[in-house]
Amino acid sequence: MKVSVCKNYGEATVLGVSPSSGCELMHQPDFPVLRVGSSMVVPKEKCIQWMEEHTGGAI
């Protein structure tokens, strides 16, 4: 099993989650993440839309 390492902790902190929780979230099948080589990039607008859909709009 490949272990992912979250290298940019700032975004997870902005969301109010730990870096490990942020990385776990990025591996959810329906989470909007783009894979660019070995990097994972989350489009800001898609992330906000995903959070609103999964929290009842309470972000």
pLDDT single digits (tens) 1-59 = 445 555 565 666 666 778 888 888 888 999 999 999 988 888 888 988 888 888 876 55
Residue 49: inside a domain: yes
Give the Cα separation of 24 and 4 in Å (integer): 9
- Note the pLDDT of residue 7: 59
Domain total in the chain: 1
Residue 28: inside a domain: yes
What element of type H or E holds 7? none
- Note the pLDDT of residue 32: 92
Residue 44: inside a domain: yes
Residue 35: inside a domain: yes
Residue 31: inside a domain: yes
Q: Confirm whether pTM is higher than 0.75.
A: no
Residue 50: inside a domain: yes
- Note the pLDDT of residue 9: 57
- Note the pLDDT of residue 31: 92
Residue 2: inside a domain: no
Domain region containing 30:
9-54
Buried b (16+ CB within 10 A) or exposed e, 14-46: eeeeebeebbebbeeeebbbeeeeeebebeeee
Residues paired with residue 40 on neighbouring β-strands, in sequence order: 35
Can you list the alpha helix ranges (DSSP code H) found in the chain? 9-15, 19-26, 44-55
Residue 59: inside a domain: no
